[in-house]
């Protein structure tokens, strides 16, 4: 278990123990809406960058919640390791959210405390010139209680020709190609391609955070959706 500024990150076994000890209470919010004292969010990834993005997005969207419990789960995307279309990338995000929630249900036999399950999937697609590659990512936030999902897409940006060449001709994933071109290690769990190319003005965590907040819009405007 890891605790950071009101956010608790626990594994599957840790969550199983919490199921029997955690009590959920609600109180009246300032505008007459019920505000939960804690949220339990399953994250369909163990990537530190994706977990941090979820932490920041949920903290920003639910400032009245005292504690947010994140449960990272290795979840299958059901798509290729390097999605190459917008549609495939979106499918991967949806599958990760769904499969992560199913993994928790299978492990604990109970999910009454779970509020959301999140899937994050990065992908590529062809640029307008039909030759270059453009990077983007999809976020899927699944409501565990209703089964309804909200999705949002990040901004997109062009991949440098050297990186594009390695992806196309050497069948490398984007993170692998980054490591080769930019002489780094494990780019996918660091600042990412977007961090390298923006000179860390926007790192991968921040890149995902914005889209996650967009995907959370229906859940912070329940009277409108």
Instruction: Give the global pTM.
Output: 0.86
pLDDT value for 210: 97
Q: Which helix (H) or strand (E) holds 122?
A: strand 116-126
Max mean pLDDT among 27-31, 152-156, 181-185, 189-193 falls in 152-156
CB 135 within 8 A of CB 173: no
18: confidence class by pLDDT, cuts 50, 70, 90: low
High-pLDDT (> 90) share of the chain, %? 76
Q: Is residue 14's pLDDT more than 60?
A: no
Handedness of CA 77, 169, 208, 192 (dihedral sign): positive
Mean pLDDT of the chain: 88
Query: What's the average model confidence in pLDDT over 73-100?
Result: 97
37: confidence class by pLDDT, cuts 50, 70, 90: confident
- Spatial distance between the Cα atoms of 87 and 206, rounded to a whole number of angstroms: 23
CB within 8 A of 19, min separation 6: which ones? 108, 110, 113
Query: What's the average model confidence in pLDDT over 161-170?
Result: 96
Q: How many CB atoms lie within 10 A of CB 131?
A: 10
Q: Is residue 21's pLDDT more than 90?
A: no
CB within 8 A of 13, min separation 6: which ones? none
- Spatial distance between the Cα atoms of 84 and 167, rounded to a whole number of angstroms: 10
Give the tens place of pLDDT for each residue, 106-146.
887 666 789 999 999 999 999 999 999 999 999 999 999 99
Burial class (CB in 10 A: 0-12, 13-18, 19+), 193: buried
Top pLDDT among 12 and 26 is at 12
185: confidence class by pLDDT, cuts 50, 70, 90: confident
Q: Is residue 31's pLDDT more than 80?
A: no
27: confidence class by pLDDT, cuts 50, 70, 90: very low
pLDDT value for 111: 67
């Amino acid at each position: 278990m890891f605790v950071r500024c009101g956010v608790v990150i626990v594994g599957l076994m840790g969550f199983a123990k919490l199921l029997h000890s955690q009590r959920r209470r609600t109180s009246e919010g300032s505008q007459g809406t019920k505000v939960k004292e804690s949220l339990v969010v399953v994250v369909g990834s163990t990537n530190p960058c994706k977990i941090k993005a979820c932490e920041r997005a949920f903290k920003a969207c639910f400032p009245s919640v005292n504690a947010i419990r994140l449960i990272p789960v290795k979840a299958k995307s059901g798509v290729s390791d390097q999605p190459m279309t917008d549609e495939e990338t979106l499918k991967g995000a949806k599958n990760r959210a769904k499969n992560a929630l199913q993994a928790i249900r299978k492990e604990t036999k109970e999910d009454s405390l779970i509020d959301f399950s999140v899937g994050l999937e990065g992908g590529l697609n062809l640029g307008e010139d039909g030759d270059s590659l453009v990077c983007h990512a999809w976020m899927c936030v699944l409501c565990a209680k209703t089964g309804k999902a909200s999705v949002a897409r990040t901004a997109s940006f062009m991949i440098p020709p050297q990186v594009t060449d390695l992806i196309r001709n050497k069948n490398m994933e984007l993170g692998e190609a980054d490591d080769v071109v930019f002489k780094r290690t494990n780019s996918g769990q660091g600042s990412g391609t977007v961090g390298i190319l923006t000179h860390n003005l926007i790192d991968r965590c921040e890149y995902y955070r914005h889209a996650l907040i967009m995907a959370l819009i229906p859940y912070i405007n329940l009277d409108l959706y």
